[in-house]
Chains A and B, each alone.
Chain A
């Protein structure tokens, strides 16, 4: 075992060394005038061909290799693979931005996405490994018996994983289009190719070893820019240690800036604008007609006088751009009103917990913060693509140890993200606020051009006030290299890291979906006598179909995809967590109970999300079903009710149904048995 371990470690050491020299070579080439676009191509080509190479080397036609990597993945490497599997495009690109925008409130993601691994490690991973089959529906099917529960589990796994995989492929499209200037749709299909080269030939085995490679890239890419930034600002390259002091400086800057008279004045201007839009919306359709008449009167007046042609053309364009009908006007003006309202609010202090004007508002923030943590932890402990990874270790003990390594490797990124946000905020507060707009650094204009940064001098004083600046959360990670004035090779590195994060998660999810379909539905339910070779053929063709389907959906640029990802946690959590935990820890849980609990949990979560989030579904022609949230809980935490209802339902229904006589012997095998799982 030691020999193989060192060989593996040696391979990855060579690989990491190779990656560093690749970066170094590009840095030198950039000094000699290599254009940025080529650097982008080089990163794209190098990383994807690395993944393809690993995929080809690990090709397999063995069922156990294909589904669970032959159960030969050592704890340490399984931890790394889980890290890459777990950290998605959202963690890599979005988290630091969320933390930048919402300060303390964003830490719910940091706590939730790491705390969930305690639940995985203590409540699930060892038992799943000792059971030792292939999928999560397998476990539920064996514990409770019957195909119904297997089908419900498959449906929930696919529902939760599919939106998630679409979001990853979407992320790939965004990254490739921004850094390598490929067209978005082409970028999506490049991503698809990147995913297929790993998973198609080698299944879980290839995915595992690519994920390890991807983890190394993504963590280097995440930490490098913020370490350089930290060194520039504080002289210490370990951002996690020193950002406390920077946070204090940020708080001082905030205290000075937020209440300065000119900031207050700008916020007041935005409030007036919001009121104006509110009035116009109320007075539809007259307000639209009035606006039209006013503009055309102005144009005629200008034409009558000897005004410049340029001014007339500008006004005519304004006239053409007016909303065509009251519905369109309502939509547009509501958006404008919300944006203005957002900007008119007093900004929150970065470190303040549960900010709010009144005690009641603070309590609502607090309750939502805790509810979000609950949903994220439980969802983490229930997402099938993560749990499946713990089937791949050689022993139960290694499964437990690999949870430790997983959390350690994930922690490296999550502990850095808040530092990222604080450093970025420091840069913005000290180098952008109160600076003449003509003297702003170049990156502001560059990112404003693609709409991720927007600036509006509403009080026309030629100076940027904080309230006049708005940043898209994605910009924080993507633009930090430029903010700190680093060479383009660092930007390329960040793009490669984001790509690795998105591809690795997509691989794991795709494999979960296909093994649910091919193993649980086709093999377990329809054709238990299928030959192993044919099972793999089915598996691989499913993979192709699902991957193409996901890429097609992603290419449509579905707008709500990112909020759908947070719903995936609620759905997975309420479907799997109660049934798995009670199945392991409570002998009395019965099939009827588990089935009822899973269905109640999923239905309640979806019901809550839909009724709180939407008021109408135009496609089905129903509307007006929106409701007030219960206990002020936002729809992203809808899983709270689903999980609690799931637990209660399983317990109540189990108590009134007959105990399952086979439960005791099954539980003995997963709790206490010598030897390997199979």
Chain B
């Protein structure tokens, strides 16, 4: 039997690590191939350039938004309401 706090932490950790992994894929994985994906052109932008100048930034914002949403639900589920 594990405690509520442990379960809450386990779920938080899983969410955090999954999102950090995704973040690493965008930040380092995709950037590694920037030269290759630059050959694809969208709206005049070479894709590698576009991802580094705008795409990655918007994805970062989405990561944080998703994390906040999930954590809000998780906190409500476990009664960690603090406001």
Chain A residues within CB distance 8 Å of chain B: 104, 107, 110-111, 114-115, 117-119, 121-123, 126, 240, 243-248, 351-354, 362, 366, 369-370, 373-374, 377, 394-398, 400-401, 403-404, 407-408, 411, 414-415, 418, 585, 668, 671-676
A672 touches B44 (CB 8 A): no
Choose one: B32, B38, B82; the contact of A395 (CB below 8 Å): B82
B83/A395 in contact, CB under 8 A: yes
- B54 A240 Cβ-Cβ under 8 A: yes
Minimum C-beta distance from A99 to chain B (A): 9
CB distance from B38 to the nearest CB of A (A): 5
Give the docked Cα–Cα distance between A352 and B44 (Å). Answer: 14
Q: Are B49 and A117 in contact (CB under 8 A)?
A: no
* Contact partners of B61 in chain A: CB under 8 A: 404, 407-408, 411
Q: Given A240-B54, A407-B61 in contact, is the A671-B9 Cβ separation under 8 Å? A: yes
State whether A122 and B67 are in contact (beta carbons under 8 Å apart), knowing that A107-B49, A244-B43 are contacts in the complex.
yes
A158 to B34 Cα, complex, angstroms: 37
Contact check, B68 vs A414: say whether CB atoms are below 8 A apart: no
Does A353 lie within 8 Å of B19, measured CB to CB?
Answer: no
- CB within 8 Å for A397 and B20 given contacts A104-B49, A114-B57, A672-B9: no
Distance in angstroms between the alpha carbons of A318 and B26 in the assembled complex: 56
Of B4, B13, B31, which contacts A585 at CB under 8 A? B13
- Output the least CB separation between B74 and chain A (Å): 10
Which interface residue of A107, A118, A247, A369 has the most chain B CB atoms within 10 A?
Answer: A118
B60 in contact with A397 (CB, 8 Å) = no
Question: B83 CB to closest chain A CB, in angstroms?
Answer: 4
* Closest A residue, CB atoms, query B4: A672
Interface residues of B in 15-64 (CB under 8 A from A): 16, 19-20, 23, 27-28, 31-32, 34-35, 38, 42-46, 48-50, 52-54, 56-58, 60-61, 63-64
Contact of A672 with B27 at beta-carbon distance under 8 Å, contacts A110-B53, A114-B60, A115-B56 already known? no
Cα A352 to Cα B46 in complex, Å, equals: 9
Which of B34, B35, B42, B60 is close to A118, meaning CB atoms less than 8 Å apart?
Answer: B60
Question: Considering the chains assembled together, what is the distance between the CA atoms of A266 and B41 in angstroms?
Answer: 33
Cα–Cα distance between A201 and B25 once the two chains are bound (Å):
46
Q: A126 — which chain B residues lie within 8 A by C-beta?
A: 71
| Known A354-B34, A373-B27, A373-B28; contact A107-B53, beta-carbon cutoff 8 A | yes
> In the complex, which residue of chain B has the Cβ closest to the Cβ of A121?
B64
Taking a contact as CB atoms under 8 Å apart, the answer to whether B56 and A111 are in contact is yes
Given contacts A104-B49, A244-B44, A675 and B54 within 8 Å (CB-CB):
no
**CB pair A672 B49 closer than 8 Å:** no
A-B CB contact pairs (8 Å), 28 listed = A104-B34, A104-B48, A110-B52, A118-B64, A119-B23, A121-B68, A122-B20, A240-B54, A245-B43, A248-B44, A352-B35, A352-B38, A353-B38, A370-B32, A373-B27, A377-B27, A396-B82, A400-B64, A400-B71, A404-B61, A408-B61, A411-B58, A585-B13, A671-B9, A671-B12, A672-B78, A674-B80, A675-B82
For the complex with contacts A111-B27, A394-B83, 19 further pairs of A-B residues with Cβ separation under 8 Å are: A107-B49, A115-B23, A115-B56, A118-B20, A118-B63, A122-B20, A126-B71, A243-B44, A244-B45, A245-B43, A247-B46, A351-B45, A370-B28, A370-B32, A373-B31, A397-B68, A397-B72, A674-B79, A676-B82
Shortest CB-to-CB span from B51 to chain A, Å, is 9
A398's nearest neighbour on chain B, judged by CB, is: B83
**Which residues of A have CB within 8 Å of B75?**
397
Which residue among B38, B46, B48, B50 has the maximum number of chain A CB atoms within 10 Å of its CB?
A: B46
With A397-B83, A400-B71, A404-B61 as contacts: A247 and B34 at CB distance below 8 Å: no
Q: Are A123 and B57 closer than 8 Å at their CB atoms?
A: no
Q: Are A121 and B27 in contact (CB under 8 A)?
A: no
Q: Is the interface of A mostly helix, strand, loop or mixed?
A: helix
From A370, A408, A418, contact of B31 by CB (8 A): A370
Answer whether residue B81 sits at the interface, using C-beta atoms and an 8 A cutoff. yes
CA distance A377 to B27 in the complex (A): 10
Distance in Å from the Cβ of A546 to the closest Cβ of chain B?
33
Chain B residues within 8 Å of chain A by Cβ, number = 47
Q: A121 touching B52 by the CB < 8 A rule?
A: no
Q: B interface vs A, CB < 8 Å? A: 4-5, 8-9, 12-13, 16, 19-20, 23, 27-28, 31-32, 34-35, 38, 42-46, 48-50, 52-54, 56-58, 60-61, 63-65, 67-68, 71-72, 75, 78-83
- Shortest Cβ distance from B83 into A: residue: A395
Looking at the assembled complex, report how far the CB atom of B23 sits from the nearest CB atom of chain A, in whole angstroms. 5
Which 3 pairs between the two chains have the least Cβ-Cβ distance? A244-B44, A353-B34, A107-B52
The answer on a CB contact under 8 Å between B28 and A400 is: no
Q: Which residues of B contact A245 (CB under 8 A)?
A: 43-44
Chain B residues with CB under 8 A of A415: 53-54, 57
Q: With a CB–CB cut-off of 8 A, which chain B residues contact A353?
A: 34-35, 38, 48-49
Contacts of A117 in B (CB 8 A): 60, 64
Give the one of B8, B58, B61, B78 with max A CB within 10 A. B61
8 Å CB contact of B38 from A246, A351, A370, A411: A351
Minimum CB–CB distance for B62 against chain A, Å: 10
Q: Are A369 and B31 closer than 8 Å at their CB atoms? A: yes
Q: Residue of A at shortest CB range from B31?
A: A370
Residues from chain B with Cβ under 8 Å of A369 in the complex: 31
The distance in angstroms between the C-alpha atoms of A243 and B42, with both chains bound, is 12
B15 to chain A, nearest CB (A): 9
**Nearest Cβ distance between residue B52 and chain A, in whole angstroms?**
4
Inside 8 A of B72's CB, which chain A residues have their CB?
397
Question: Nearest Cβ distance between residue B70 and chain A, in whole angstroms?
Answer: 10
- For the complex formed, measure the closest distance between the CB of A106 and the CB atoms of chain B, giving whole angstroms: 9
How distant is A586 from chain B, measured CB to nearest CB, in Å? 11
CB-CB < 8 A to B16: which residues of A?
122-123
Q: How far is the CA of A418 from the CA of B45 in the complex (A)?
A: 12
Contacts of A246 in B (CB 8 A): 44
Contact between chains at B5 and A672 (CB < 8 Å): yes
From B44, which residue of chain A is reached at the shortest CB distance? A244
Q: Name the A residues within 8 Å of B35 (CB-CB).
A: 352-354, 362, 366
Q: Which residues of A contact B48 (CB under 8 A)?
A: 104, 353
- List, in ascending order, chain A residues with CB within 8 A of B20's CB: 118-119, 122-123
Distance in angstroms between the alpha carbons of A121 and B62 in the assembled complex: 12
> Are B79 and A104 touching (Cβ within 8 A)?
no
Closest to A401 in B: B68
A-side contacts of B79, CB under 8 Å? 674
A367 to B79, CA, bound (A): 46
CA–CA, A676 to B33, complex, Å? 45
Tell me, rounded to whole Å, the shortest Cβ–Cβ distance linking B68 to chain A.
Answer: 5
Task: Give the shortest distance, in Å, between B73 (CB) and chain A (any CB).
Answer: 11
Chain A residues whose CB sits within 8 angstroms of the CB of B64 once the complex forms: 117-118, 121-122, 400, 403-404, 407
- On chain B, the residues within 8 Å of A671 by CB distance are 5, 8-9, 12
Contact B13 A411 (CB under 8 A): no
Residue with the greatest number of chain A CB neighbours at <10 A, chosen from B8, B31, B48: B31
The smallest C-beta distance from B81 to any residue of chain A, in angstroms, reads: 7
